[in-house]
Structure 1
Amino acid sequence: MKTVKKKSKLKHVVYLILALAMLVYALPMISFEPGGGWVSAFGAVWAAFAFLVIGAHLHFILGVNEEKQRALDAVRRAKLRDLQMKWAAEGGKQEQSL
């Protein structure tokens, strides 16, 4: 299981490096001057999208999803335990009424 996670993280590291390289290469060529019209708008949108991609890969690499998943798993286990206790208590009540 860990090798799958390592491969997955390696893939995200490679994609992050590629996105950073594209941004470093393209950013000096993009004109952000006022009055640039569609060229400036496209450059700004492209740069914003590149930053979103970089942020998404950093989010995955840093393991924020893993922490959230562990917390959600703990909540699910607690709910399941409560449900099992409730069922056990209801089963005991039914046996007493018989």
Structure 2
Amino acid sequence: MKGLKNVIYMSVALGMLFYAVPRLDLGQGLTAPAIFGVVWICFALLVVAAHLHAILGVDEETREELGRIGRMKKWQLEKTLQGKSKQLQFRK
């Protein structure tokens, strides 16, 4: 379901690009409308790139590795706490 949402949002962003680019005043030099058009296109392309990145799952390995590290830290903390509780029991 998560991938479908990214595909839909990327399609909407691409649709906005195809609709708006012919209507933007880009060939007028360094005027305010031209600068706005260039900045708007850059933001729209950034949105498309972010959704494409999520669809392709480029950072999936990194996410899995971070999950393994988190589980290992929890396991180490649990072992440390178990060791301290055993030490407290022996002192009594």
TM-score normalised according to structure 1 size: 0.74
In structure 1, the gaps of 5 or more residues are 1-6
Q: Could you say what the CA RMSD is over the residues aligned between the two structures, in angstroms?
A: 2.2
Q: Determine the structure 1 residue equivalent to 2:29.
A: 35
- Percent sequence identity is 37
Query: For residues 48-67 of structure 1, what are the structure 2 equivalents within 5 Å?
Result: 48-64=42-58, 66-67=60-61
TM-score normalised according to structure 2 size: 0.77
Query: For residues 14-93 of structure 1, what are the structure 2 equivalents within 5 Å?
Result: 14-33=8-27, 35-64=29-58, 66-93=60-87
Q: Determine the structure 2 residue equivalent to 1:13.
A: 7
In structure 2, the gaps of 5 or more residues are none
Superposition deviation, residue 96 in structure 1: 2.4
